[in-house]
């Protein structure tokens, strides 16, 4: 799977999760989202949303100020004309005419930009494409938006409950708090913090719904927000966090050793329950996972003890890998580990899956 861009359908990958993927992978480019004849574009710079001067819809912004009675309609043309006569931007004209202070104007522009995109969170159909060749370039960027909190704001305003229900786990699933390293960057509100407390005590999704004082729809929406941000997830998603920190070239072999310790443990765990056929189960799991791995990890195989054996040439080149290549390889390791945990769930059931993940956590990274 190539890592240069993102492309697909909103039915499978909703807007909130697309934005999180861009942030998590530090993507850059122009994200184009199209539904019927409507297309929205936003620029991404290393995962952050960047609002470019030449793509900011000044006239629509001015009209929105009039509609909100922030700017009276009689002065509408007064603010448009200076910009055209002096070959100046509307933004500059609004400041030079002392209509708004710069800080107030930037606040209004950010609010306008967000409100224009909030409806996209409810789109359950459409296509998306990240054009990695179309990059935001300084100093043409007016301002940047913190992606994680924008996702949270957007999901809070969602009304498409069917979309939300389609992208949260089934009620018989187990849910865990993942405690990602970036969680302190996200401004949770009291109801969201409350639901995290419920999840900490009740990890069965069905029990969470029964216990939550938020009501069914708000609980679903909050679960969708927290899961879209990687704050909560299933046990296999929890396993995927095992190698989330970037490794230096010198430390990468230690990361591989830690990864294989987990793989060996998974093999021992499942073979204790089903015997020698465990190797076939995990081997098939690895074959199915290969389609989702980067080209770096295509030549891998499973050893008789459950260890994942990499191509010897790849291992010798790890010290020469770029920062991005190492991050891609770490994601591959996480994909493999999550797939093996899922194989345990399918073979042995939910209780074994939870027990396995807890034991893997105790091993450390």
pLDDT of residue 320: 61
Average confidence score pLDDT of the chain: 84
Give me the pLDDT at residue 3, please. 40
- When comparing pLDDT for 18 and 26, which is higher? 18
Report which listed range, 162-166, 289-293, 331-335, 352-356, is most confident.
162-166
Going by pLDDT thresholds of 50, 70 and 90, the confidence category of residue 244 is low
The values of phi and psi at residue 254, to 5°, are -65, -40
243-264 in b/e burial notation, b at 16+ Cβ within 10 A?
bbeebeeeebeebbebbbebbe
Tens digit of each residue's pLDDT (9 = 90 or more) over 355-364 = 888 888 776 5
Domain residue limits, the chain: 7-150, 170-233, 242-363
- pLDDT tens-digit profile of 255-271? 778 888 989 999 999 99
- pLDDT of amino acid 75: 55
The Cα–Cα gap between 350 and 164 comes to: 23
Q: Quickly state the pLDDT bin for 315 (edges 50, 70, 90).
A: low
Per the listing, tokens 């297309």 go with 39
Calpha distance 288→282 (Å, rounded): 10
User: Has residue 312 got a pLDDT over 60?
Assistant: no
What are the pLDDT digits (tens) for 21-51? 999 888 999 999 999 999 999 999 989 999 9
pLDDT score of 210 more than 60:
yes
Strand order in 29-35's β-sheet?
7-9, 127-131, 29-35, 38-45, 48-52, 141-145
* Percentage of residues of the chain with pLDDT beyond 70: 85
Q: Please choose, from the candidates 180, 212, 179, 216, the residue with its C-alpha nearest in 3D space to the C-alpha of residue 195.
A: 212
pLDDT of residue 272: 92
Name the more confident of 315 and 21. 21
Higher pLDDT, 308 or 191: 191
Is residue 175 predicted with pLDDT exceeding 90? no
Q: Which residues of the chain form beta strands (DSSP E)?
A: 7-9, 29-35, 38-45, 48-52, 127-131, 141-145, 176-177, 232-233, 300-302, 308-310
Query: Do 307 and 264 form a contact (C-beta atoms < 8 A)?
Result: yes
Q: How large is the average pLDDT for residues 221-244?
A: 82
Least confident among 132-141, 207-216, 249-258: 249-258
Task: Report, as an integer, the average pLDDT of 147-170.
Answer: 95
- 103 pLDDT higher than 60: yes
Burial of 43 (0-12, 13-18, 19+ CB in 10 A): buried
Q: What is the pLDDT of residue 6?
A: 82
Provide the pLDDT confidence category of residue 77 given band limits of 50, 70 and 90: low
| Mean pLDDT, rounded, for 47-60 | 90
């Amino acid at each position: 799977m190539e890592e240069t861009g993102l492309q697909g359908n909103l039915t499978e990958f909703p807007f909130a999760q697309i934005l999180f993927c861009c942030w998590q992978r530090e993507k850059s480019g122009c994200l184009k989202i199209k539904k019927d004849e409507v297309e929205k574009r936003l620029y991404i710079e290393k995962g952050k949303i960047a609002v470019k001067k030449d793509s900011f819809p000044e006239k629509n912004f001015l009209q929105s100020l009039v509609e909100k009675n922030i700017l009276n309609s009689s002065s509408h043309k007064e603010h448009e004309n200076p910009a055209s006569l002096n070959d100046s931007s509307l933004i500059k004209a609004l400041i030079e005419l002392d209509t708004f202070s710069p800080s107030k104007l930037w606040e209004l522009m950010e609010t306008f930009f967000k409100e224009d995109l909030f409806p996209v969170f409810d789109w359950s159909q459409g296509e998306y494409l990240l054009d990695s060749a179309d990059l935001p370039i300084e100093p043409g960027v007016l301002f940047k938006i913190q992606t994680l909190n924008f996702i949270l704001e957007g999901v809070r305003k969602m009304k498409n409950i069917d979309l939300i229900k389609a992208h949260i786990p089934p009620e018989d699933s187990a849910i865990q708090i993942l405690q990602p390293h970036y969680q302190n960057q996200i401004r949770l509100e009291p109801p969201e913090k409350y639901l995290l407390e419920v999840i900490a005590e009740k990890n069965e999704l069905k029990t969470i719904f029964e216990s939550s004082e938020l009501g069914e729809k708000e609980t679903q929406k909050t679960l969708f927000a927290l899961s879209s941000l990687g704050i909560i997830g299933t046990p296999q998603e929890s396993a995927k966090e095992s190698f989330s920190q970037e490794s230096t070239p010198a430390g990468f072999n230690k990361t591989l050793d830690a990864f294989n310790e987990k793989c060996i443990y998974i093999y021992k765990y499942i073979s204790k329950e089903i015997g020698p056929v465990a190797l076939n189960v995990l081997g098939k799991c690895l074959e199915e996972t290969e389609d989702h791995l980067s080209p770096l990890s295509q030549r891998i195989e499973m050893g008789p003890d459950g260890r994942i054996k990499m191509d010897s040439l790849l291992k010798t080149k790890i010290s020469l890998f770029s920062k991005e290549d190492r991050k891609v390889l770490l994601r591959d390791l996480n994909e493999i580990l999550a797939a093996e945990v899922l194989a345990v769930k399918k073979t042995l059931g939910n209780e074994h899956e939870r027990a396995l993940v807890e034991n893997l956590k105790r091993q450390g990274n």
